Amino acid sequence: MEWTGTWIFNPRGVEAFCALKKLCICAALMGAVLLRVNAESCPWSCSCANSTATVSCLDSQETEIPGDIPPWVNTLILRGNNVSTLPECAFSPNGTELELVTLLLSHNNIQTIEPYAFLGLPRLQLLDLSHNRLVVISEMAFYGLEELRYLHLNDTLTAFGARQLSRALDSESLRNLQRLELSGNRLKTVPLASFDTFNLHVLVLTNNSIEVIGKDNITSFSELRNLDVFLAQNPFRCTCDIETFYHWLKNSSQCPDSHQLLCSQPDGKKGIPLEKLRHEDVDCRSAELEAVSYVFLGLVLALIGVVFLMVLYLNGGGIKRWLNNFRDACRDQMEVYHYRYEQDSDPRLANVAV
């Protein structure tokens, strides 16, 4: 069957089709240009994921932070490199602010953080500096991180770096900090005496060398009612020095891992959970009373000894006469016994007596 219909020309339809075709071509060209720009702006030693706005620079052994980080990045992962120093404006050397929200810098052998190292990252919320070897931390190291919420410093502090940390954290730039992780740093004390400048919700101090939590720290913890403090795997010294800490654990719910806290000293309490200690085990007043009783006993004995010596000194003549009389009495008695013994042993005297 042959179709004999008539084709009707519609100029408006052709114009609409051409316009749609041009729009599609323009969109394709723009997409290609954007992809090309993103591909060209990705650092050569890194991989970029446009869909997640992530740049990863892994195990490249680079000694410096890439200087061509694209401004559209939300997550930057630098791991397995050899970046010993974070200089000023390390991530925005040309003054361009980045959109970074997450910055992961673990395992890079970072030893020094210079002043204003993170300047140009006003939107950064998570900073991970774990598993490095921080020796020098400038007081202004974290300047400009007003939006930072999470700071991870696990297994990264040397002894010298730990002493500088408190000054670096005492910055108004960190007033919105909510979680601070300091696990595995061999810390002997809590590095902050006060938490007034923070909005902390979580403080992780696990796997350190803390023996005693001081009264000032307990006071600071109690002032932040929403704060959770994690303290497992620390060698606590279970003497009366932890009395305040012991009562805080008993009366507060701010230590979620309190059931994991164990005594390390003294030997008689080693391995005992702090929760199972008795009140008298950490009562400083009992220990003080016991010490006072021993001191008092020593003083009494010393006084008795002094009195005895004074009596001997003041009554020396009488004592000497008494000793002489006692000696003479003993001598007379011995002579009597000796005489009787001689009589009993002589048979002639015995016959005379009969």
pLDDT on residue 290 = 52
pLDDT on residue 170 = 86
Buried b (16+ CB within 10 A) or exposed e, 329-347: eeeeeeeeeeeeeeeeeee
pLDDT on residue 5 = 46
pLDDT in 10s for each residue of the chain, 354 residues: 444 444 444 555 545 444 545 554 544 444 443 444 444 478 888 999 999 999 999 998 889 998 888 888 999 999 999 999 999 999 988 888 999 999 999 999 999 999 999 999 999 999 999 999 999 999 999 999 999 999 999 999 999 999 999 999 988 899 999 999 999 999 999 988 778 788 899 999 999 999 999 999 999 999 998 999 999 999 999 999 999 999 999 999 999 999 999 999 999 999 999 999 988 888 776 555 455 555 667 787 888 877 777 666 656 566 677 777 777 778 777 777 666 666 666 555 555 544
pLDDT on residue 296 = 66
pLDDT on residue 14 = 44
Strand partners, 179: 150, 202
pLDDT on residue 60 = 84
Look up residue 279 and give its DSSP letter. G
Look up residue 231 and give its DSSP letter. -
Domain residues of the chain, as ranges?
40-288, 297-342
0.85 exceeded by pTM: no
Is the separation of the CB atoms in 22 and 12 below 8 Å?
no
For the 40-288 domain, the top CATH level (class) is alpha beta
Condensed to tens digits (0 to 9), the pLDDT of residues 282-323 reads 877 655 545 555 566 778 788 887 777 766 665 656 667 777
Q: What is the C-alpha to C-alpha distance for residues 155 and 331, in angstroms, rounded to an integer?
A: 86
Is the separation of the CB atoms in 122 and 147 below 8 Å?
yes
Q: What is the C-alpha to C-alpha distance for residues 260 and 119, in angstroms, rounded to an integer?
A: 40
Look up residue 75 and give its DSSP letter. E
pLDDT on residue 126 = 99
H/E segment holding residue 38: helix 11-41
pLDDT on residue 345 = 61
CA dihedral 324, 326, 331, 333 (to 10 degrees): 160
pLDDT on residue 62 = 87
pLDDT on residue 31 = 44
Condensed to tens digits (0 to 9), the pLDDT of residues 217-262 reads 999 999 998 999 999 999 999 999 999 999 999 999 999 999 999 9
Is the separation of the CB atoms in 102 and 73 below 8 Å?
no
Kindly give the pairing relationship between strand 47-49 and strand 54-58.
antiparallel
pLDDT on residue 313 = 65
